[in-house]
Structure formats: C-alpha cells, structure tokens
Structure 1
C-alpha cells in the first residue's frame, strides 16, 4: 500500500501525509506536499514552496502559510533551510523555530538534514525530484528529515542523520521508523558514468543487505553505453539498513515525481523551470 496518501485541506492545498504514521503516532505529523492548491502562477503553479526558483516571494510565503494552515500548525513553527546537496545536519533547538519561513536570508544555511526533539518545531525541506528521507524515534521522541539527491545519497546523508540523532538524543537505529518519499523513480532517472562511478564505490559497503547482492545490484540498470537508470529510493533504503534501521521499519513510496507532473513538480521533466514541494516532519505540542 502506498504510504503517502493524498489529502485535500479546506483551503484547497493538497498534501500527502504518511498515513500509517498518522494512525499509530497521533503526536507526529509528517508527509509531502503536492503542486496543487497554492497561489503561484506558471511555471510555478501553484503550491510552490521554494523561494529560490524565481517565483514571486510574496506568493511563495503565502503558499507556505497556506501549507501551515492545512497542516494545523502555526506558520511561526515552520523551519526551513538553504539546501546545498551535501550531508551537513542541523540540530534544531526551539531558538531556531521558524528560521527561513519567510526569507532565504534567515534560513538555516548550507544544511541538507535537520533533527529535533522539540515539540512545536516543524522541519521543512524542499524537493523537485530528489529523495525526502524521514526518521522518527518513538522511544526518545525525536525526528529527522533529510534531502537526498544523488550527491547526498552517495555521501550517505541517511546515515549522517541517524548518527546526529544518536549523538544529540541517544537514538538507537533499531528503534527508528523511516520513510522514503515521492521522488524521481528509476523509470525516469537516467544518469551517466560519473554518477554511477560514485555509486559503485558505495556498493561494497551495502553488499548482502536488504535481499542480498541482487538487491544491491538492482539499484541501477545499464541502458546503453554510458547511460544508466538509477533507483535513488532503493539505494537510500539500503543505506538506512546498513545504518541499522530494520527493513520492516522502512516505508517506501511508489510515486515518481517525473511520471506524475499532474501532482508534483519535476526539475528534470520540466527542464529546470518549476516549483518545489516541501517535505515536513514535527511533533505536535500537547
């Protein structure tokens, strides 16, 4: 069953919360936005959450406010960062709550992963094909969110996020539940030798995990000379397992952002001129 279930809010914004998590952990809010239900004009139509893509900043902030309203959280709790395709993780204390929600200058700088154990602090990251990674430790009540393009993936940002949660909160990977959200699928993600050479360096570390060597090899398929279809979702799953998350604790989407431009923005499908979805996670205040 698809873990990210489409849901329309009263203000017209369409989001995709992680349904099973919402049922099991009512104190937790996590999911992914669609492109539907905002105020941005084309080519950012219409729920663009990215301030960095050339859209009218006032429209983006309105969209972010609409999103917070749809999620039932204060806009002041929405915390954003400037992402750089790295693996740096920010521990977000309550003093950083709301960073970047209405301005790039005020965002957390050069961070692609975020963790917090503070109720009422909601983490947001932006996507238009890259892979959103979600982490929840129900024992120590801590959450994490990471942005994994191919660079962040081979840098193992999933493992870096878990290590940061461990250092900050005492999180043990075996206790963590994780999810891999809507992103470009292997069906549409063609890469070259330069990318695959980085993936190949990582594969020996993953050998034998999540179904054996065949499961690891299947993270990419050679299509022609120097061209491959890469499955970033499955590669991140293997990295999570290597880091100690139980395979049964990982939810993985079947949604491809490139296939579903009716629902999502896709940087690759739309030739780089498009908006951004937001992934979010946070603990509700009691």
Structure 2
C-alpha cells in the first residue's frame, strides 16, 4: 500500500511493502519546501530554472525527514534512456548540490553501498523503487514512456541479478505516482512503439472517451517486472495520477512544462543486524 504522511512539515509517500529496518525510502510531494512559483514549493530538480539554493534547501529538508545525509545524495542527468549506473562509495555526493556534477546520462541507479541516498526526479514519468532484502541491494529507475518502452524497469532487475546476484523472486518493487492512462493520450508514433514493445499485451493501449489513444504506463511497468521474475505480490503500485493530482505532485503536462519535480529516494542503512 502507498500512503502519504506528514513529518516535520514535509509530506511524503511511502510503500508499506518495503521494510523499515535497514532501508529508508520516500517519494516527495509539492508540499513543505521553499521554492517560489511556479516551482512551489518542494522542487527537487536543479535543471528546471529554479534557484539552486532553494533546491538544495528542499533536498536538505527532505533528507532530514528521512534521516539521511543530503551531502551524500547521488543523482543523475536523466535522459529518458535505459542506461543504468552502479553507485560506488566514491560516488557519494554526485549531483547533490550541482547539476553539472551529476552522474552523466542515465536513468537508473543501483547500489549495495549503505548511507548513500539514491534520488531521481519526476513530473508525470514513472518512479520505480527496488529493494532486495537478501543481497541488500537498492535501486531506483526513471520510466517515462521512452524508458518504459525500452523496459528500463526489467533491465534494472536484470542488472541487480548480474552484478549483485539478486534473485528476482526476492526483489520488492514500488511503482510510484505518475501520469495515468486516464490522462496519457498519445499520438500514432507512440502507439506504434508500444504495440511493438508489448505485442502480446494490447490492454496497455486503449481509447479515451474522446477517441484518443492512451497508454497505461503503470500496467506496462508491472508487466515487465513480472516478466523479469518478480512475484506479483512483491509489486506495489501507488495508482496515483500526477496530472489528476497536480496539486500534490508536479505534472509536466498539466503545467505545460513550467514546473518543478518531485523525487523518489531510497537508501540502505548501515545499522542493520
């Protein structure tokens, strides 16, 4: 179950599927930060034109609620691709305060290193959080329509297997707030891409009441995670449409591009038995 809660003036969402011992995670909302309009108020992204000092303060405030060190955040320059970066201890702090110091051009991060918060930014794209409690691996992926069609979620699980020997049946996954099929109308080019990417699953594509083609990104990501070997009961979905809930989460479509970004955070804790 995905639930919103308030702590120290900050609202965040969390999945009950993930254990509290040895792991911390959270998905930020728009509430509790210092950014001014149109980024009001908890903008987590340094590339939107917001004040860098305000973004850093927002990150610091959120890190304080999660009880992690904001100075050790690792975050990438996201490019709507399927590149995955393995975060090492020496990477701590990459992109924490400066966009030009971010991990270069990737859309997923995974690590076995404790006390390094992994953070990706979103405004309609799908946040994917992963945790393997057996091998103690944490990961986060950014699945926009391009990343979803390229199966970045599935590729993240495969990389967890290859690098850290995770078993898919052990992996827990959360699908965060993102634009729903109710609002994600697409053109013929995107429709054809999804037909090719998911030929056996036509239910991912549908038609709105206005007759527009729509894509169900939540279903497409769940499907590819199950195909990767995750157990259905180990996948939780927030089922929150960011465009319908633009007062709580940033929506690029709703704001026509002039908006901030919320973030998905995950970190392994060192203090585990």
Q: Equivalent residue for 1:241?
A: 226
* 1:17 maps to 2:22: no
What whole-Å deviation, never above 9, does each CA across 1:138-186 have from its counterpart, x for those lacking one?
A: 1100011100000000111011111211121011112111110100111
Shift of 1:246: 1.2
- Please list every run of 5 or more consecutive structure 2 residues that lacks an aligned counterpart in the other structure: none
In the alignment, the residues of structure 2 paired with residue 36 and residue 263 of structure 1 have an alpha-carbon distance, to the nearest angstrom, of 7
State the SS of the aligned residue for 1:218.
Answer: helix
**Structure 2 residue aligned with 1:152:** 147
Q: Which of 260, 267, 273 is 1:282 aligned to?
A: 267
Distance 1:261 1:28 in 2: 28
Q: Which runs of 5+ in 1 are unaligned?
A: 208-215
2:201 pairs with 1:193: no
Hey, what does 1:141 align to over in structure 2?
136
Shift of 1:20: 3.5
Aligned length: 271
Q: Contact conserved, 1:145 with 1:281, CA < 8 A, in 2?
A: yes
- CA distance in 2: counterparts of 1:20 and 1:166, whole angstroms: 21
Alignment of 1:51-130 (within 5 A): 51-130=46-125
Could you say what the CA RMSD is over the residues aligned between the two structures, in angstroms?
Answer: 1.4
- The corresponding residue for 1:8 is 6
Any idea what SS the aligned residue of 1:198 has?
helix
1:210 counterpart residue number: none
Whether the 8 Å CA contact 1:192–1:226 is kept in 2: the answer is no
Partner residue, 2:240: 255
Q: Superposed, which structure 2 residues align to 1:194-233 within 5 Å?
A: 194-204=189-199, 207=200, 216-223=201-208, 227-233=212-218
Aligned partners of 1:38 and 1:66 also within 8 Å: yes
Moved over 2 A (4+): 222-227
Q: How does 1:152-191 map to 2 (within 5 A)?
A: 152-191=147-186
Q: Contact between 1:133 and 1:179, CA under 8 Å: does it hold in 2?
A: yes
Q: CA deviation at 1:217?
A: 2.4
Cα 1:96/1:133, change in 2 over 3 Å: same
Q: Distance in 2 between matches of 1:32 and 1:244?
A: 25
**1:89: how far off?**
0.2
Q: What TM-score comes out, normalization by structure 2 length? A: 0.96
Q: Distance in 2 between matches of 1:266 and 1:272?
A: 8
1:209-232 CA distance string (max 9 Å, x none) = xxxxxxx32212124898311110
Q: Partner residue of 1:131?
A: 126
Question: What SS does the corresponding residue of 2:53 show, helix, strand or coil?
Answer: helix
- Secondary structure, counterpart of 2:226 in structure 1: helix
The answer (yes or no) to whether the contact 2:17–2:234 under 8 Å persists in 1 is no
> TM-score, normalization: structure 1?
0.91
1:267 corresponds to: 252
CA contact (8 A) 1:193 1:227 kept: no
8 Å contact 1:17–1:29 — kept in the other structure? no
Cα deviation code 1:21-40 (max 9, x no counterpart): 2xx34211122100000000
- In structure 1, C-alpha distance between the alignment counterparts of 2:26 and 2:68, rounded to whole Å: 13
